[in-house]
Amino acid sequence: MNRSDPAGRSLPSKRERLDLLDVALFVRAALLANVSAAGREFGLSAAVASARIAQLEKLLGARLLHRTTRRISLTQDGEVFMTRAGALLDAAAVARASVGRAQTEPQGRLRVSMPSSFGRQYVSPVISEFLRRYPGVSVDLRLTDQVVDLVDAGIDVAIRIGALKDSSLVARRLAVNRRVLCAAPAYLAARGTPHHPSDLARHECIILSEQRDWRFVTPAGTLDVRVSGRLVTDNGEAIRDALLAGFGIALKSTWDVARHLRSGELVSVLDSYPLADDVAIWAVYPSRAFVPPKTVAFIDFVAAHLGDPPYWDREPAGLAGA
């Protein structure tokens, strides 16, 4: 027999109600393309996680996931429910937050990916502080210059630098990524200092991954300059080494060369012609729906640590710690 609310309307039985845990589990399984991995994040065995999603499908009267031995994917009904599920979980989170301290303590394994040099310089030194602050969290830190597929690799959050290309990801801006053209004083003494972007045609430029077009802001508008040089590499540290050796001019982020600019080992050039492209340092994650507390905690921690503007761009103390 169904119960009634005060207005006399029939209430669903317990078996007919959506369980938010099942909804959240479904969302996470879809994002990871793996029911077992999603279950582990919720402290559930693979069998229990699979059973709970099957229970959700039975309640909805629709198959939500295509299952194979290696991977799962959303059915058409699953895609429709995914959008509704995100809104449902967001509304539940707002409701919990409105009545008290309902935020769960961050816990579980957090898989993080970021560029190797940036990670070593600015995140790796403070990971132990993050872990001490959140004893229920463990971190799997991947330092790689390859842009990994977050879902395929099971990554919870990645730090990316520059323009974002994958519009399906949710992005939070952590800090500005200021870039400068710079060279060693010895190089400029031998080859001269450029005074206009067009002067770069006569210089040895060190190029990152075939990025031969450098765009500047001039009084006449934006100006694209095609640069050339004998060293092209996909590794930022190799470019920095060549700069310090006095080999040429390169476009570098200040997070990578701030201490060398401060010491005088490198000097900036063409400061009157800022670079046109607006780039930043971002935290990206797969979906706005059911973002685990461990992911939110990590993003907040890194954002607070870097600051905006980031500490390496702040004078005078900022560059000293870069």
CB atoms within 10 A of CB 269: 19
16 Cβ contact list (under 8 Å, min separation 6): 59
Is residue 3 in some structural domain? no
pLDDT of residue 21: 83
Name the residue with tokens 């919720």. 42
Cα–Cα distance for residue pair 36/241, rounded to 1 Å? 44
pLDDT of residue 166: 60
Which residue range(s) make up the domain with 264? 179-269
The phi, psi pair for 97, rounded to 5°, reads: -65, -25
Is residue 118 in some structural domain? yes
pLDDT of residue 181: 95
Is residue 7 in some structural domain? no
Is residue 135 in some structural domain? yes
Is residue 5 in some structural domain? no
Tell me the C-alpha to C-alpha distance, in Å, between residue 276 and each of 213, 215, 221, 229, 296. 11, 6, 10, 21, 32
Number of domains in the chain: 3
pLDDT of residue 163: 75
Cα–Cα distance for residue pair 245/241, rounded to 1 Å? 6
pLDDT along the chain (322 residues), means of 10: 46 59 85 82 85 90 82 86 77 54 72 93 94 92 85 86 75 92 97 95 91 89 92 92 96 94 95 84 80 91 93 61 33
pTM: predicted TM-score of the whole model, two decimal places: 0.66
Is residue 34 in some structural domain? yes
Is residue 297 located within the same domain as residue 170?
Answer: yes
Is residue 155 in some structural domain? yes
Instruction: Name the DSSP class of 266.
Output: S
Could you tell me the end-to-end alpha-carbon distance of the chain, in angstroms, rounded to an integer?
68
pLDDT of residue 95: 57
The phi, psi pair for 26, rounded to 5°, reads: -60, -45
What is the C-alpha radius of gyration for the chain, rounded to an integer number of angstroms? Answer: 25
Is residue 172 located within the same domain as residue 285?
Answer: yes
Q: What residue type is assigned to position 222 of the chain?
A: T
Is residue 76 located within the same domain as residue 192?
Answer: no
Is residue 160 located within the same domain as residue 286?
Answer: yes
Centroid of chain to Cα 238: 24
- The CATH number assigned to the domain holding 227 equals 3.40.190.10
| CB contact at 8 A, 106 and 294 | yes
Cα–Cα distance for residue pair 36/69, rounded to 1 Å? 11
213 forms beta bridges with: 226
Q: What does the block give as tokens for 98?
A: 């409105």
pLDDT of residue 119: 93
